[in-house]
Amino acid sequence: MRSAQTIPFGRGGVSLAGDRLAVWCDGDARVPLRIYGNFFPLIMLLQTIGYGPACLAGQEEDGTLALIAALPVRRRAIVFQKVSAMALQALLLAAAVTVCVLGGRSFQLTVSTGNAISIAAALTLMGLDFGLVTMAVGAATRRRGTALGAGAALAAASYLLSSLGTTIPGIRPGRYASLFYWSASNDQISNGVGITGFAVLIAVGLGALVAAARAFRRADLN
């Protein structure tokens, strides 16, 4: 019978016994890891990636975007208003999760206030980044399905790069191209989000915002 081998990492580890592989973490770290590693990013991305294609490409397919663009308002202002609506939804979600995490200290959720707020801010920026990318693709293609598919594919690729980059040496450098890595997959629960992480997330978001505004300005609406 083979003896079990354990490789520690952070507050948890990987245990290998025969053909069975198990990932574990300390009891006080399990819930925060699930919240910030799975639940929070998933709900955030469902919200922003769903809204991004709907707010421009979706309205174009419904035939209502041309009516909005005919109003005496610059197209750039229309884009900014839609981005503001998406940001408000993301902030409300982030605030709700942060309140629950901080309130969970009574149940041994050991995440500091500063780290909880910084991770919530980083995941909000990450969600907005993907939402803005889908908005730009939707404005350029005027197809909601194409924009939704592009956003979902990019989010999945980003998650896989961040997750597999910690275990597969060959793709480890690729994790730096993952927005998940800069927001919640680099032990931010213990160390918080650094300046570099915020800089990357903000830069990507600004680039996607400019692309969305330009694509919508050039769009030929019917």
Q: For the chain, what is the HEC assignment?
A: CCCCEEEEECCEEEEEECCEEEEEECHHHHHHHHHHHHHHHHHHHHHHHHHHHHHHHHHHHHCCHHHHHCCCCCHHHHHHHHHHHHHHHHHHHHHHHHHHHHHHHHHCCCCCHHHHHHHHHHHHHHHHHHHHHHHHHHHHHCCHHHHHHHHHHHHHHHHHHHHHCCCCHHHHHHHHHCHHHHHCCCCHHHHCCCHHHHHHHHHHHHHHHHHHHHHHHHCCCC
Looking at residue 220, its pLDDT comes to 77
Q: Which of 196, 155, 195 is nearest to 179 (CA)?
A: 155
Which residue did the predictor score with more confidence, 13 or 150?
150
Model pLDDT, residue 1: 45
Nearest to 88 by CA among 128, 123, 118, 126: 128
Does 29 score more than 70 pLDDT? no
Per-residue confidence at 101, pLDDT binned at 50, 70, 90?
A: confident
Going by pLDDT thresholds of 50, 70 and 90, the confidence category of residue 22 is very low
Q: 208 or 114, which is more confident?
A: 208
For 61-82, write each residue's pLDDT tens digit. 888 888 888 888 899 999 999 9
Task: Decide if pLDDT at 103 tops 90.
Answer: no
Please report, rounded to a whole number, the percentage of residues in the chain having pLDDT higher than 70: 80
Residue 129 has pLDDT above 50, yes or no: yes
Indicate whether 91 pLDDT > 90: yes
Report pLDDT for 186.
75
Q: pTM for the whole thing?
A: 0.80
Identify any residues that bridge with 5 across adjacent strands, giving them in sequence order: 16
Nearest to 140 by CA among 182, 107, 132: 132
Q: What letter represents residue 171's amino acid?
A: I
**Most confident range, picked from 19-33, 172-186, 203-217:** 203-217
